Amino acid sequence: MELVLASCVGLLFAAGVYLMLGRDRLRAVFGLGLAGQGVNLLLLAAGRVSSARPAFIADGVDAAAVANPLPQALILTAVVIGFAATCLALVAVLRIEQRDAEPAA
């Protein structure tokens, strides 16, 4: 699993950087979003993928046998924040494109 995660992080970053370095602002925004997803997976890997069992407390569940909940909490909020940031960047790009399209006053 770690090897897969490491490859995915690399792929997401490579694609993200490729889009960021392009000429198109809209694609650059999405490139940044891809890199952000790469960071999320990196966080996941940092907590180690020891178990596929979610961290829910129930009778008879061994605390050592569940997935590490801390990176999950960090990623969950990061996903939403990333969403907000991407939306903001999209609207900003929209505004910039419209301004560029306007005849110079």
Partner 1 sequence: MTTALVLVALAGLAAPYAVRVLGARAGLVLALAPLAVVVELLGHVPEIAAGSVVTEEVPWVPSLGIAWALRIDGLALLFALLVNVVGALVPVYAASYLDGKPRVGRVLAYLSMFIASMTGLVVADDLVVFFVFWELTGIFSYLLIGWDHERADARKSALTALLVTGAGALVLFAGLVLVAVTFDVERFSELVARRDEIREHAVYPALLACLAAGAFTKSAQVPFHFWLPGAMAAPSPVSALLHSATLVKAGIYLLARVEPALGDHFAWTLPLCVVGSVTILAGGIGALAATDLKKVLAHSTVVVLGALVVLLGIGTTVALEAALVLIVIHALYKSALFLVVGSVDHEAGSRERGALGGLARMMPVTAIAAVAATLSKAGLPPSGGFVAKELVIAAALDTPMIAAAVALSLSAAIGVAVAIRVGARPFFGAPGSAVARHEAPWLMTVPPMVLAVAGLVLGLISPAFGRALIGPALASIDPAAEMPELALWHGLTPALGAGVVAIIGGWLLHRLTADPARLADAAALVASPRALWDAGFERVLGLGAVAGRALSTLELRPMIVGVLVTAASLGAFVIASGNVPAAMSLAGHSPLGYLEAFALVALVVSLGAALTARRTTVMITALAGVGFVVSMLFVRAGAPDVALTQLVVETLLFVFAMFVLTRMRRAAPAASPTRLGAGRIVVAAAVGLVMTGVVLAMVSGPLDPSLARWFVANSAPEGMGANVVNVIIVDFRALDTFGEITVLGIAAIAIVAIARRTTSAEIPALRLRPPPFAVVGRPVAIALVVAGAWLFLRGHDAPGGGFIGGLVAGAAAVTGRLLGLDVPGRIVARVGPARIIAIGLACVLAAAVFALPSGGAFFEAKWSLSALARGLPAGTPVLFDLGVFLVVFGFVAGGADALTAHGDADRGPAGEGDDRGRERAERTPSAGRLAEEV
- Binding positions for partner 1, 25-44, rule CB under 8 A: 26-28, 30, 33-34, 37-38, 40-42, 44
Asked if 31 and 16 touch (Cβ cutoff 8 Å), the reply is: yes
Among 57, 60, 103, 104, binds partner 1 (CB under 8 A): 57
104 contributes a contact to partner 1 by CB under 8 A: no
56 contributes a contact to partner 1 by CB under 8 A: yes
84 contributes a contact to partner 1 by CB under 8 A: yes
Render 31-49 in DSSP notation, one character per residue. HHHHHHHHHHHHHHHHT--
Enumerate residues 63-82 that contact partner 1 by CB under 8 A: 63-64, 66-70, 72-73, 75-77, 79-82
Q: What is the DSSP letter of 66?
A: S
Nearer of residues 63 and 103 to partner 1, judged by Cβ: 63
- The SS3 assignment for 101 reads helix
Q: What is the DSSP letter of 103?
A: P
Residue 22 CB-half CA count within 13 A: 16
Closest approach, Cβ 51 to partner 1, in A, equals 6
90 contributes a contact to partner 1 by CB under 8 A: yes
